[in-house]
Amino acid sequence: MLKMSFWLRKPNANQDSLEYITIDNPKVDKSRKFEWGNRYVCEVYLPNVERKISPIYGINLIDTLCLASESVKIYLQGLIKRGYTVSEVESKEPWKLEKLSDDFLQEKINKIKDNKNISWEDKEKILEMVKGGFV
């Protein structure tokens, strides 16, 4: 399990809160059978979200972790775009995440749509999560 800790400050707020993002260890999804073999799945738990993100699927352990970490990056980028400040735990120094361009979300959506390693059903789940990170 991967656990990231950080300070989060809401826009126009004077107080930070210690938050965590947790990515479960990828494991073989035994509940579903795929034509092309086993698929790995892991779940991402976000701060201040009552539900976890839809399961993240990949064709192997590394692919699954990469997709999960990309979803976390998109979530954090969405927070920054809405005016939140994300900072280091020890130094409280703000994270230097890249600034989003206006077409950042569309670029990510196109990249997911064009990925031939992800089934259409999984693409829909990922796209729903990506769009939800920017609302």
Looking at every residue in the chain, the average pLDDT score rounds to 79
Total domains in the fold of the chain? 1
**Full domain range(s) for residue 119:** 2-132
pLDDT digits (tens, 9 = 90+) for 68-101: 888 888 888 888 888 888 898 888 888 876 665 6
Q: What is the DSSP string of 40-61?
A: EEE-EE-TT-SSPPPPEEESSH
Average pLDDT (115-134) is 71
Tell me, yes or no, if the pTM score tops 0.75. no
Q: What percentage of the chain carries pLDDT values higher than 70?
A: 80
